[in-house]
Structure 1
């Protein structure tokens, strides 16, 4: 590895080592590198895209042919200030634990044709300062438009994939409970809550103070005409939830709650971490998830609240919320049947009742995530932090003190969400 100013970058020797594990008959000749994401697409780490060129020895012949492979690799931000502001090193370790321990345990349940989820990229190497994986663009996957949000078909595809992913955790709990416990135990070998834990409250206080004040201002200005009494009630409920003495504790409590639907959550299930491709056959997989840095052990409803409250509009939810949850529920039950999970609580009617209760309970968690996800997803790229700027330029700034201020579209989405949760008696 080459290191300068604490920056880790892939060298030709390391690339050769990575490729040799899978294809020993390939001789790497050269590679080209470029940034792997744009401003506003990624905040806690830096992505680079490689095009690796070489020659491959043909089997049973002396002939060699040209060979290429595309690789994405992720490293920590150049700026130590930015690493500290986003707790990038903690998040990076969490993602490594997911790829090296949690995912192998879940994937092992899919032997003998019992496949319910293939939405994780092929990982070449994962260590505390570097993760290298396949470039999913080579298989036709593309990121959605964060400023547009997810459309109905994309939501259905994502929920189908999430159902399979969550089913693997429920199966692991039943079939190998000791392994689930080992990987979910705080301080153990698996993933753990990296953000919403009470000891982080002071660390994130300024960030969420800015985010909360922005949200209160947006909602106050964007509320449609209504009776004075209703307006006062709406603002009082929002301000109570966002009070800085209790907000972070509430989010931590929701994230840590355990129950019958406790699983390994993706943890950051928003538009930029969901890749889609057009179906090319009845068995082709159309959704892949990336960026498992915020993986946590908690209710599967945490992922659903993240997706449905941060990546859709109020209009979509008003018309399709129940049908979308039914879609997820149907695929979850089907995946559990494939995995041969037998617990009586997997009865479809029982599962639906538990699921709807947990979605209601996690509504506030979705709003808490929306405080920074909606401003980030709706801002223009030139308003987002640039993680690829040089170290000297970055250090002159104060660091991440809060999400970018939300514009009119953000205010509309935030206001719709607040009113929806109040109408549902979830806030």
Structure 2
């Protein structure tokens, strides 16, 4: 059966087909009594894909004329498609993000968890959403996952940042991914078996123009105030060096290489809490790691810097950073040692030395994500305006325009990966992010300004801006 291209193409017969596969029952024995499709993410939280919520009421058993009542089950799902935007769609295909995420849900994470259970059965498995249906061909792509929100999972408020318990739970979970993929790779060679899983340094290169543009905006913001003008100049003087440090670290050989999530920030974590008698939020019961489209293979320090500096406040880092790093290292070493694969050159002092050496990673991604996700004026976070071409009688014209856009995207995307193209992308992002710069200068978004300035002050205290 043909796979829907977007949420609006989902039909009852298609839902009967995929649920039949999921339940291992003939689709003819199922009947979708009713279904709804709605937005699955806020604007800006899923701009690289189309995410829709699907609720389907499904009847099983005899037909309506039978005296035996039909059994009805409600399925709550999230369907993930490639972005409807032709440029984003083609970019994702070029970077193979759809292939990576499909592989992760369909096979790879299951293999890691089976290894964990077989080696250390008492350890908790890594939690990701259950895959209900997936398809990946040259022309078709979809992932249908369980809707975690209907099971009591919630995302933390990104403006507040992760507090200590939520940060610790997330890092404990990613430590398990890192440890088991490190062990698994010794006998399977993940990059060789799965060519779509690229090195972290290669994955990182795609974000270089964005990172550079964000740094340009930060410097402009700092220089706009007498209080921070000197800091802005200080960063401007070492701008190229900062970016080079970031790339050099991940291009060099790491004592430990493993599967990297690649986008481990606040909104890609969902938590379930134990209930309390008064209805307040109780202890964390489970954390789910979601959105694996940019996973890669490389140093685990990438994920650690990413979550620490994109998703926490300065207060959390000041009080808990040392404890967090010790917990991560102890968990990783304990798991790989129990599986008879202890790493060499990875004691705690060596681990911390590498953490400090890669400090630029945390600063750059922290500044980029903070501007991109906490801004209220970022164009990426805005819901697209309705198009006049959405009118039914203009469907042929819309199809023609979309075809032209797709053709242009296929020409332009390869160019963006050239040296000239990277410069074009950087200039484009500088223009896109002008509203964010204006918002920073206005000082009206206190959370954005505070989080960004704290990143700058910390990095300066750590000596990151020394020429």
Kindly state the Cα deviation for residue 118 of structure 1 after the two structures are TM-superposed.
2.7
Is 1:42 aligned to residue 73 of structure 2?
no
Report the TM-score when normalising by structure 1.
0.80
Q: Which residue of 1 aligns with 2:436?
A: 405
> Structure 1 residues 46 and 386 mapped into 2: Cα distance closer, same or farther (>3 Å)?
farther
Whole-Å separation in 2 of the counterparts to 1:185 and 1:147: 40
Deviates more, 1:315-324 or 1:350-359: 350-359
Whichever of the two has the greater Rg, that structure is 2
Kindly state the Cα deviation for residue 145 of structure 1 after the two structures are TM-superposed.
1.2
Whole-Å separation in 2 of the counterparts to 1:390 and 1:423: 47
Say whether the 8 Å CA contact 1:270–1:307 is kept in structure 2: yes
Q: Relative contact order (C-alpha < 8 Å, sep 6+): which is higher?
A: 1
1:123 maps to which of 121, 131, 135: 131
Kindly state the Cα deviation for residue 29 of structure 1 after the two structures are TM-superposed.
2.8
Q: Which residue of 2 aligns with 1:357?
A: 353
1:242 maps to which of 239, 244, 247: 239
Kindly state the Cα deviation for residue 54 of structure 1 after the two structures are TM-superposed.
0.9
Kindly state the Cα deviation for residue 83 of structure 1 after the two structures are TM-superposed.
3.3
Is 1:262 aligned to residue 283 of structure 2?
no
CA RMSD of aligned residues (A): 3.7
Report the TM-score when normalising by structure 2.
0.74
Whole-Å separation in 2 of the counterparts to 1:263 and 1:294: 14
Give the alignment of 1:66-105 within 5 angstroms. Answer: 66-84=72-90, 90-105=96-111
Say whether the 8 Å CA contact 1:144–1:275 is kept in structure 2: yes
> Structure 1 residues 208 and 266 mapped into 2: Cα distance closer, same or farther (>3 Å)?
closer
Q: Secondary structure of 2:381's match? A: coil
Whole-Å separation in 2 of the counterparts to 1:283 and 1:117: 19
Say whether the 8 Å CA contact 1:211–1:402 is kept in structure 2: no
Unaligned runs of 5+ in 2: 277-281, 391-397, 406-424
Deviations 1:241-284 (A, max 9, x none): 433xx666554433444322211011001111011110369998
Whole-Å separation in 1 of the counterparts to 2:454 and 2:372: 17
Q: Secondary structure of 2:436's match? A: coil
Deviations 1:337-363 (A, max 9, x none): 5x52342649xxx53223212221222
Say whether the 8 Å CA contact 1:36–1:47 is kept in structure 2: yes
Unaligned runs of 5+ in 1: 226-230
Whole-Å separation in 1 of the counterparts to 2:7 and 2:53: 16
Whole-Å separation in 1 of the counterparts to 2:297 and 2:317: 26
1:213 maps to which of 213, 216, 223: 216
Deviations 1:368-425 (A, max 9, x none): 2123200122123885434665565999999865446153433332232233223223
Q: Secondary structure of 2:34's match? A: strand
Deviations 1:323-350 (A, max 9, x none): 222232333344345x52342649xxx5
Whole-Å separation in 2 of the counterparts to 1:187 and 1:387: 35
Deviations 1:291-313 (A, max 9, x none): 11111111111101001111112
Q: Secondary structure of 1:40's match? A: coil
